[in-house]
Amino acid sequence: MAGSTLSSARHQALVLHEQDGVAVAVDDLPAGAAIEELSLTTQAAVPIGHKIAIRSHAAGDPVIRYGQIIGHATVPITVGEHVHGHNLAMRDQAEDGAIRLAASDADYASNLDTSALPTDFMGYHRADGQVGTRNYLGIVTSVNCSGSVARFIAEAAEKAGLLDDFPNVDGIAPIVHGTGCGMAMDDEGYDTLFRTLSGYAQHPNFGGILLVGLGCEVMQVSDLIGKGRPRADGAFRYMTIQQSGGTAKTVERGVAMLRELAEVANTQTRAPAPLSHLTLGLQCGGSDGYSGITANPALGYASDLLVAAGGTTILSETPEIYGAEHLLTHRAVSPEVADALMDLVHWWEGYTAMHGGKMDNNPSPGNKRGGLTTILEKSLGAVAKGGASPLQAVYRYAEPVTARGFVFMDSPGYDPCSVTGQIASGANLVAFTTGRGSVSGYMPTPCVKLATNTPMYERMSDDMDINCGDILTGGVSVADKGHAIVQQLVDVASGQATKSERQGFGGAEFVPWQLGAVM
């Protein structure tokens, strides 16, 4: 987002982007209410969460919220009017080609205040050029059948105090899942799981990897290894339970291998790295009516700041951009990037239809009572996490992200599954906005939780890292909160523990996207 016009005082209405033509009421406002910070008077009663025109619109003019078009005026709208279904509607968005406009970096970065950005974080520099924010040992499983043994190895190593001699190692993370067999070897489901496991095996937040298989599964350990070791630092070991002689022998051998890996990982120490080595997964879950007003726009501003500093941010959850996808294609750097995103949307339409579902739905009566007028506006609450930077590339689930800047990775809207894909794609940080209060963590990548409202933040203070509710109640601007989020992310990337890390989350949140038939 390019900026915010919010004042430092307790405000009656929010302007979420400097290009917006509407503000959002923070309280129920009667007709004739003077909104001093916007120098206007309401022309009619405006309920909390609803929109107020802050500039005049002719019939047919686009109406802007979040810095994006949410529809067009159906009649002339004057300053101070209530903007809703009686004077705002969508146009036909079916013509994809009409909205594939090339984005310009200057359009989005011209008013972005980057003067106070930190320049570096303290990370682990890996042999392949990546930089990690954590230094875990990972036990990656090829199949569900080796999941329990992977946990046994981790438990035995921890019980023996293996890491006591290796202070630079953050911990041991078993990466277990429910698939890897009972699947075809040449379909999309296999390829997706292969990318996911390979991405974790090469992730910079791991200082060493032990790959454990059963031996007879479809997802063979030898295929995951390929022609060479997947890690340039040599911190990689592998085995199968069947070849090792069963559970007990595998556990004994696994603990010995972990010690070898720990010796390598322990030589790694934190050193300065530019913010260009940060790759941030953008997520939301347990959302509420404040998500699109506080935490998501603030995270969007933080995303733009990281992109301006040379970093990478990943927006995902394809079903949750539905109806607003054209606003992302508008920001695409090329028609090919826009086409790639639209191809994903069309795939999802077919995928849901095949299972008797559908993706499109208009705002419900409850949504409309809360102030949402169009499906675009509803989806924009989620899309706001992506800020306003140009869309550089579109990736499949768990595909390695190689572009710098703002990108999109295909995934379901199910949070653990989506984050799993982002981490496999290279995310070494995750920022997760929540209104209801999501509790989760994602080893080996730290997850910073952003609360959308102050009451939930105070009620769940052991789980929430940042309160964005003060945008509503404390007069904090979206831009200032965005800067605070970036600083927190840099602190976490440099070693500060998140609330979810302190509570030990991460053991159950590895959820690969399971596609195809289970046979």
Task: Give me the helices (H) in 275-414, please.
Answer: 295-308, 325-329, 335-354, 365-369, 375-383
Total number of domains in the chain = 3
228-247 per-residue burial string, b: 16 or more CB within 10 A, e: under 16: eebbebebbbbbbbeebeee
Note whether 78 and 155 are same-domain residues. no
Note whether 410 and 486 are same-domain residues. yes
> Looking at the whole model, is its pTM more than 0.95?
no
Give strand ranges (E) for 82-234.
82-83, 88-89, 120-125, 131-132, 136-141, 171-175, 206-213
> Does residue 338 form part of some domain?
yes
> Does residue 519 form part of some domain?
no
Residue 347 scores a pLDDT above 80: yes
> Does residue 250 form part of some domain?
yes
Bridge partners (DSSP) of residue 407 are: 314, 393
> Does residue 43 form part of some domain?
yes
Side-chain half-sphere of 79: how many Cα atoms within 13 Å?
8
Contact 357, 366 (CB under 8 A): no
Note whether 143 and 229 are same-domain residues. yes
Q: Find the angle CA(183)-CA(189)-CA(194) to the nearest 5 degrees.
A: 95
Separation CA 418–CA 424 (nearest Å)? 10
Contact 332, 391 (CB under 8 A): yes
52-88 per-residue burial string, b: 16 or more CB within 10 A, e: under 16: bbbeebeeeeebbbbbbbbbbbeeebebbbbbeeebb
Q: What is the mean pLDDT of residues 363-377?
A: 63
> Does residue 105 form part of some domain?
no
Separation CA 254–CA 93 (nearest Å)? 56
The percent of residues in the chain predicted with pLDDT above 70, rounded, is: 90
Note whether 210 and 280 are same-domain residues. no
Note whether 162 and 259 are same-domain residues. yes
Q: Which residue has the tokens 């509420």?
A: 288
Note whether 178 and 239 are same-domain residues. yes
> Does residue 256 form part of some domain?
yes
> pLDDT tens digit string along 162-203?
999 999 999 999 999 999 999 999 899 999 999 999 999 999
> pLDDT tens digit string along 20-57?
999 988 888 999 999 998 999 999 999 887 899 999 99
Structural domain span for residue 228? 123-265
Give strand ranges (E) for 383-476.
391-395, 405-409, 429-434, 447-451, 466-467
Q: In angstroms, how far is the first alpha carbon of the chain from the final one?
A: 47
> Does residue 118 form part of some domain?
no
Note whether 308 and 222 are same-domain residues. no
What is the model's pLDDT at position 92? 58
Domain boundary among 265, 289, 316: 265
Helices and strands counted in the chain (H then E): 16, 23
For residue 82 the two structure tokens come to: 């209530």
Contacts of 258 (CB under 8 A, 6+ apart): 137, 139, 153, 157, 162, 172, 208, 210
Separation CA 324–CA 139 (nearest Å)? 39
Domain boundary among 247, 265, 283: 265
AA identity, residue 8: S
> Does residue 494 form part of some domain?
yes
Separation CA 175–CA 356 (nearest Å)? 33
414 Ramachandran zone, left/alpha/beta (phi>0; psi -120 to 50): beta
> pLDDT tens digit string along 263-272?
999 999 999 9
AA identity, residue 112: L
Note whether 260 and 278 are same-domain residues. no
Domain boundary among 242, 265, 288: 265
Q: Would you say how long the chain is, in residues? A: 519
Note whether 36 and 17 are same-domain residues. yes
> pLDDT tens digit string along 451-505?
998 999 999 999 999 999 998 888 899 899 999 999 999 999 999 999 999 999 9
What is the model's pLDDT at position 90? 77
3-state secondary structure 147-177: HHHHHHHHHHHHHCCHHHHCCCCCEEEEECC
- Alpha carbon of 168 to those of 102, 162, 234, 359, 453: distances in Å? 46, 13, 18, 46, 37
Listed residue (235, 195, 158) closest to 507, CA to CA: 158
Note whether 71 and 182 are same-domain residues. no
Residue 288 scores a pLDDT above 80: no
Contact 479, 301 (CB under 8 A): yes
CATH of the domain at 215: 3.40.50
Note whether 198 and 328 are same-domain residues. no
> pLDDT tens digit string along 68-108?
788 899 999 999 999 999 999 877 554 433 343 444 443 44
Band (286; pLDDT cuts 50, 70, 90): confident
DSSP category for residue 144: G
CATH of the domain at 21: 2.30.130.110
Higher pLDDT, 517 or 253: 253
Note whether 294 and 329 are same-domain residues. yes
DSSP category for residue 403: S
